[in-house]
Amino acid sequence: MHEGAIIHSLLEIAKETKIKENLKKVTEIKIVVGKFHQVIEEVMITNFKYMKDDYDGFENAILTMTERNVRVKCLDCNHDFSIDEPIFMCPKCNSFNTELTAGKELYIETIEGTD
Ligand SMILES: [Zn+2]
């Protein structure tokens, strides 16, 4: 259940931003999550709904999530590919000498609110 832990830290960051930007209400939090983290959007949103009540001014806030594909580059043949399963093998030359180039993202893109 790491979704709960992720939502907790996102809410903490959003709380800081809310104070810094003098927002009364937070209306929307947009996040970007790489598929490497293997979070389930519905679980994220459910967690968010329950956990936001502990934060002042988040009553009407909604969470929207954009997923990023996991992309891998083969260091042997330079083939660039995206994967759905955590199998880091190059489909072209079967090498495991690969590196992750995208998909580890986990950040808040924007926080909207009213002041
Ligand atoms: Zn390769």
* CB 113 within 8 Å of CB 23: yes
Cα 76 to ligand 1 centre (Å): 5
What is the pLDDT at residue 84?
86
The pLDDT of residue 85 is 83
Q: Which residues does 73 contact at the CB level (< 8 Å), separation at least 6?
A: 79, 80, 81, 98, 99, 101
Domain extents for the chain? 2-114
Q: State the distance from the centre of ligand 1 to the C-alpha of 22, rounded, in angstroms.
A: 50
Alpha-carbon gap, residue 111 to 53, rounded angstroms: 17
* CA of residue 71 to ligand 1 center, whole Å: 13
Report CA(94)–ligand 1 centroid distance (Å): 6
In this prediction the pTM is 0.87
Centre of ligand 1 to C-alpha 87, Å, is 13
For residue 43, what pLDDT is reported? 96
pLDDT on residue 1: 56
Q: Which two tokens stand for residue 85?
A: 């399963």
CB-count burial class (<10 Å; 0-12, 13-18, 19+) for 113:
buried
Could you tell me if 52 and 10 are in contact, meaning their C-beta atoms sit under 8 angstroms apart? no
Distance 89 CA to ligand 1 centre (A): 8
- Ligand 1 centroid to Cα of residue 78, in Å, is 6
Distance (Å) from CA 56 to ligand 1 centroid: 51
Please report, in tens digits, the pLDDT of each residue of the chain (115 residues total).
599 999 999 999 999 999 999 999 999 999 999 999 999 999 999 999 999 999 999 999 999 999 999 999 999 999 999 998 888 999 999 999 999 999 999 999 999 999 8
Which residues are CB-contacts of 92 (< 8 A; sequence separation ≥ 6)? Answer: 74, 77, 79, 81
Fold for 2-114, please state it. hypothetical protein PF0899 fold (3.30.2320)
CA 66 to ligand 1 centroid distance, Å: 29
